Structures are given as C-alpha cells and as structure tokens.
Amino acid sequence: MADAYRNAHNAVRAEHGPASLHQCVWCWGDAAQWAYDHADPNEQTDKRRRFSTDTAHYRPMCARCHRTYDRLHREKAGPDRIEREFFKARMRYPRESLAAMADRRVIRVHTYVNGTRRTAPLAVWQVRYQRFMS
C-alpha cells in the first residue's frame, strides 16, 4: 500500500505540477504540498494515512495549513470549525485589504467546487471577508 500512496501523489504532481507553482487554497501563501481533501467516496488507507487515487481530490496547501487541515479531519471536526480555521488562515495578512492582496497576487480569484476549478470575481471574496469581519 505504501507504493499506492506514493503513486497517488506522483500522479497529482504529474497532472497539476509541483504544489510550489500554486498558492495555498486556505491562506493564499505559497503552497508546498498537495493535500488530500478527504472527500473521495473511494478513499484508501495506508497504515495511518488516508489518500485518494483520484487526482481531483487534492488541493495545493502550505505546510502549516496542510497540517491544520489534516488534524481537523483526524479530530472529525465539523464544517463550522473547519470554516473558522479557514478564515483564521486567511487572516495571516490582516493589515492588507483584499484588493491590495489581489494586486500583489496573494489572492488567486478562483476556488474549487466539487473538485472543479471555478473563477470568482474579487467582489465575492470581499463579501465573504466583510461577513467574517463583522
């Protein structure tokens, strides 16, 4: 099974390139690793690691967000707690407006919906940010 785990990650790198070419989907920082989204109905397990052979179930993340995300799934945290952690990660750039972050490309104005990359206008992120801050 260790080979299956390694092969799954190699397939993700082959299809999407190295994670370092992407931004973290949580904090918008530089990604370093491909993280499994824990949403594959055909999830596989290797010792204590969960993974998917479907490359659509991986997201680029920095090491810090990846550790947090996996810990939340190990603790079986609910969606509300995961969303709070998501917004805490986004707050690593607290003194900048979303427009300023977009200008220096900290924000990538796209998201993943059910494994599909979707583009969203900056205004959508601004609304979400304002709701979180209020």
Are the CB atoms for 79 and 39 separated by under 8 Å? Answer: no
The pTM score is: 0.61
Residue carrying structure tokens 């490309």: 105
* pLDDT attached to residue 101: 52
Contact present, 58 and 35 (Cβ < 8 Å) = yes
21 contacts 33 by C-beta, under 8 angstroms: no
Spatial distance between the Cα atoms of 21 and 40, rounded to a whole number of angstroms: 24
Q: Where are the domains of the chain?
A: 2-94
| Residue-level pLDDT, tens digit, the chain, 134 residues | 458 888 998 999 999 889 888 888 887 778 899 998 888 889 888 877 888 899 988 999 888 888 888 888 777 766 667 667 766 766 665 545 555 555 554 444 455 555 555 555 555 555 555 555 55
Q: Name which of 122, 93, 99, 103 is nearest 24 in CA terms.
A: 93
Q: What's the confidence (pLDDT) of residue 118?
A: 55
Distance from CA of residue 86 to its chain's centroid?
A: 9
pLDDT computed for residue 107 by the predictor: 45
- Identify the pLDDT of residue 108: 47
Determine the Cα–Cα distance for residues 71 and 73; give it in Å rounded to an integer: 5
Q: How far apart are CA 36 and CA 46, in angstroms?
A: 13
* pLDDT at site 129: 54
Q: In the prediction, which pLDDT does 50 show?
A: 84
